[in-house]
A and B are shown apart, each in its own frame.
Chain A
Amino acid sequence: EAQVTQNPRYLITVTGKKLTVTCSQNMNHEYMSWYRQDPGLGLRQIYYSMNVEVTDKGDVPEGYKVSRKEKRNFPLILESPSPNQTSLYFCASRGGGGAVHTQYFGPGTRLTVL
């Protein structure tokens, strides 16, 4: 089954404690990205990756890092989380080509930073 998986699904942590949210896709997609969803703001892109070892900032990259060492994985790293990073996070992937291709979203990770 084609899917994007994220772990953990729920996480409560404290300010300053480094954490990683994993994302994996089994569709051999080149493009992957991270979004955060906040009430009244919709979804905003944090980082994206066009392929292995190619990453770039989205609209709200501050406080986040990513890496793309393998095609299937695209972890999101919060080196020193702060309460304003409390949010619902989604990983997404899509294949190559133009805008017609569908993006597949993971189930989401709900992060609370105390």
Chain B
Amino acid sequence: GNSVTQMEGPVTLSEEAFLTINCTYTATGYPSLFWYVQYPGEGLQLLLKATKADDKGSNKGFEATYRKETTSFHLEKGSVQVSDSAVYFCALSNSGYALNFGKGTSLLVTP
């Protein structure tokens, strides 16, 4: 079946530090991959997505590249801000409908 594994948090970084959150997946076929972000007290928002191998999703300074050879979709940002503090979820969709989520990684950025 489908599954997503992402690095456990919490991750604590100083402002302007480089961020990497690892995500690997197991799936049949060619899933679409997503990163969702959940700010404190809010629902999930789509951060970025990639629909085929070697695609790079990007948004708000965050990037992730769909690597089929390593079944990975790592999230990166060159310089984090305090406002990036949130929980980040990696997810995949094979059917076009149900999303399989990782367990989430909590990020805390300190001034």
Contacts and interface: CB of A to CB of B under 8 A. Distances in A.
Interface of A: 4, 31, 33, 35, 40-45, 48, 50, 58, 90, 92, 94, 97-103, 105-108
The prevalent SS among residues of B at the interface is loop
A50 B98 CA distance: 11
Contact of A99 (B43, B94, B101, B104): B94
Contacts of A58: 98
Interface residues of B, number: 23
A94 B32 CA distance: 15
B103 A48 contact: no
B79 interface: no
Contacts of B96: 97-99, 101
Shortest beta-carbon contacts, A-B, top 4: A99-B32, A99-B96, A42-B103, A42-B101
A43 B46 contact: no
Interface string B72-111: 0000000000000000010001111111011110000000
A105 B44 contact: yes
